[in-house]
């Protein structure tokens, strides 16, 4: 069961690194090539959004059908286990939301960079005329 969360953690870490690299100042040719490379990768990487959504639904379903341990009948170990599962679920929700937000951020950064590049080309054409 933990394999999907490990995979999602690695994806979020990779997305964070890519977002940082996209926002760092760098020479124009290098930045343009990096943006075009990331733009090519973005379409196949879109599969992370439905995957994270499915994981969110899974967390919601498990939360709705989880046995509550709030009465006096529960032992201390059962309460600890219940609280630990709640904390894990909260961590996983944050992980899913981070995956979607980072993907969207990378998409918007690439789109803005391409628009800037197109506007610079138009400006060069107007100056040359």
pLDDT at residue number 69: 72
- What's the pLDDT tens digit per position in 20-54? 999 999 999 999 999 999 999 998 888 999 999 99
pLDDT at residue number 74: 80
Averaged over successive runs of 10 residues, the pLDDT of the chain (129 residues) comes to 87 95 92 93 91 92 79 79 87 94 95 94 91
**Residue indicated by tokens 């993907």:** 103
pLDDT at residue number 1: 58
Structure tokens at 42: 């973005």
């Amino acid at each position: 069961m933990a394999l999907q969360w490990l995979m999602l953690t690695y994806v979020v870490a990779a997305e964070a690194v890519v977002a940082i690299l996209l926002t760092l100042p760098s020479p124009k040719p290098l930045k343009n090539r990096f943006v075009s490379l990331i733009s090519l990768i973005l379409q196949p990487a879109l599969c992370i959004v439905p995957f994270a959504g499915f994981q969110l639904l899974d967390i919601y379903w498990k939360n709705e059908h989880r046995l509550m341990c709030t009465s006096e009948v529960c032992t201390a170990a059962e309460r600890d286990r219940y609280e630990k599962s709640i904390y894990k679920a909260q961590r996983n929700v944050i992980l899913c939301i981070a995956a979607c937000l980072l993907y969207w951020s990378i998409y918007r950064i690439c789109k803005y960079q391409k628009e800037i590049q197109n506007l610079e080309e138009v400006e060069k054409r107007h100056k040359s005329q």
